[in-house]
Amino acid sequence: MEEHIVIIGNGISGITCARHIRKSSNKRITVISGETEHFFSRTALMYVYMGHMKFEHTQPYEKWFWEKNRIDLVRKYVASINTVTNEIVFDDNTTLSYNKLVIATGAKPNKFGWPGQDLDGVTGMYHKQDLERVEQYAPNNTTCKRAVIVGGGLIGIELAEMLHSRNIPTTFLVRENSFWNVVLPKEESAMINREITDNHIDLRLGVNLKSINADENGQVKSITIAETGEEIECNLVGLTAGVSPNIDFIKDSEIETGRGVKVNQYLETNISNIYAIGDCAEQHEAIDQRRPIEAVWYTGRMMGETVAQTLCGNRIMYKPGHWFNSAKFFDIEYQTYGWVWAQPKDHEARFYWEHDDGKKCIHINYDKNTHEFLGINTLGIRMRHEFFDKILTHKKSVEYVLEYLADANFDPEFYKLYEKDIVAKFNQENGANIQLKKKSWKRIFSH
């Protein structure tokens, strides 16, 4: 009998898994999603609202792709999983049997029991349905006199940029006393604060939401700030205070859960034929210095590839490699490689350089005893991923990184380069005599 692999979720993790299973086998594959029929790029949703593309442009595969690759698509929501009978129960009480099951249900916006959090006009910014709600309640600045965003993470600043693109007045409530300062050091956080306010966003730091208030029709009319009691009138409230694994339908099953679905480093659950990948998976033990749950696009893709190998008879461990991430804060691009914590650890030293325009900086973290390079943040300057991946693997020194910083730069040739200024500042602060080099670091690493 043909083995049937069922994947719940059609995000980057689930679809990558399905594609790689098909590359290596003829197994029967079914992908389930209640959100949309076809896979789309979640990170591109903001650009649909901003008019840079249409929703169909976010779908990387033509509709014939699924039939050609014999991947069955089911547009339903899962209500429960029976791990004894190996059956999925849908919310319409129909069922589907499986031999192997992959849970790739992603995440959902956090809600903290705020009064009014389920009113009409309240939304997250994670699913396609969220995009539709933003379009419905904030189509322009006539219908939407003001929007309020609650929560200062990456999704929050994306929503702020979306609303700003249509000139909708926006208030941004951030619990911390500086934007994303649980992740960013104070210098980078301060730069992003300025970028937000420079784009005419009403940034409120160090405040919490008390309630979302309704009009007589059950729609949002205002929010109240906890600390001051101030009421701000608005037509849209975006809840972007982080995300949590989307696993409510699993809670009554035999599958072990914590915040997410508990998995080992092979992404296997406590049930022998069930796996979990992507934003909903929680490692029993964190890998390296990563978090047990990683809501990151590229790790979701890597998990999908890993489990596909295992399902096709080549059981391999999930190895995400060196930490990196990227984002965009309005006009400032952000990249991070390795580890640059909000606060340095006891054995760490920092070097920070910022351009006079206040929109470009680099922040290097290194071991103050051995001078081993540990990580870098860059804002407004693009760097090569391959360069830092090799630097971290070969445990090179901070001096080595600065010598070859020009090779690391990925900005186009017509961009002004700042490496001389950066190295000069490091030399001045540390009594060093680093000379900027222009050699092939690729050739050096090949020996």
What are the pLDDT tens digits along the chain (447 aa)? 789 999 999 999 999 999 999 999 999 999 999 888 888 888 889 999 999 989 888 888 888 899 999 999 999 999 999 999 999 999 999 999 999 999 999 999 899 999 999 999 999 998 899 999 999 999 999 999 999 999 988 999 999 999 999 999 999 999 999 999 999 999 999 999 999 999 999 999 999 999 999 999 999 999 999 999 999 999 999 999 999 999 999 989 999 999 999 999 999 999 999 999 999 999 999 999 999 999 899 999 999 999 999 999 999 999 999 999 999 999 999 999 999 999 999 999 999 999 999 999 999 999 999 999 999 999 999 999 999 999 999 999 999 999 999 889 888 766 778 999 999 999 999 999 999 887 665 655 654
User: Shortest CA distance to 308 belongs to which of 272, 270, 266?
Assistant: 266
Owning domain of residue 85: 4-108+244-311
Amino acid at 169: P
* CATH number of the domain to which 384 belongs: 3.30.390.30
Number of domains in the chain: 3
> Are residue 234 and residue 251 in the same domain, yes or no?
no
Domain C-terminal end among 241, 258, 285? 241
* CATH number of the domain to which 286 belongs: 3.50.50.60
Residue indicated by tokens 């903001």: 46
> Are residue 59 and residue 11 in the same domain, yes or no?
yes
Quick check: is 116 in a domain? no
> Are residue 286 and residue 217 in the same domain, yes or no?
no
Quick check: is 218 in a domain? yes
Quick check: is 436 in a domain? yes
Q: Global pTM?
A: 0.93
> Are residue 281 and residue 237 in the same domain, yes or no?
no
> Are residue 211 and residue 265 in the same domain, yes or no?
no
Quick check: is 306 in a domain? yes
Domain C-terminal end among 241, 274, 299? 241
> Are residue 369 and residue 396 in the same domain, yes or no?
yes
Question: Per-residue pLDDT tens for 71-95?
Answer: 999 999 999 999 999 999 999 999 9
Quick check: is 333 in a domain? yes
Which two three-digit tokens encode residue 345? Answer: 């650890």
Inter-residue contact 317 to 277 (CB < 8 Å): no
Quick check: is 198 in a domain? yes
> Are residue 328 and residue 433 in the same domain, yes or no?
yes
> Are residue 100 and residue 248 in the same domain, yes or no?
yes
Residue 411, CA distances (Å) to 187, 323, 360, 441 in order? 22, 21, 13, 17
Which two three-digit tokens encode residue 309? Answer: 């190998």
Residue 361, CA distances (Å) to 62, 308, 375, 378, 432 in order? 41, 40, 14, 6, 20
Quick check: is 342 in a domain? yes
Distance of CA 176 to the CA centre of its chain: 19
> Are residue 248 and residue 99 in the same domain, yes or no?
yes
Output b/e per residue, 250-271; b: 16+ Cβ within 10 A.
beebebebeebbbbeeebbbeb
Quick check: is 115 in a domain? no
> Are residue 45 and residue 75 in the same domain, yes or no?
yes
Write the CB contacts of 311 (distance below 8 Å, at least 6 apart in sequence). 5, 17, 21, 25, 27, 100, 102, 275
Write the CB contacts of 242 (distance below 8 Å, at least 6 apart in sequence). 109, 110, 151, 153
Domain C-terminal end among 217, 241, 265? 241
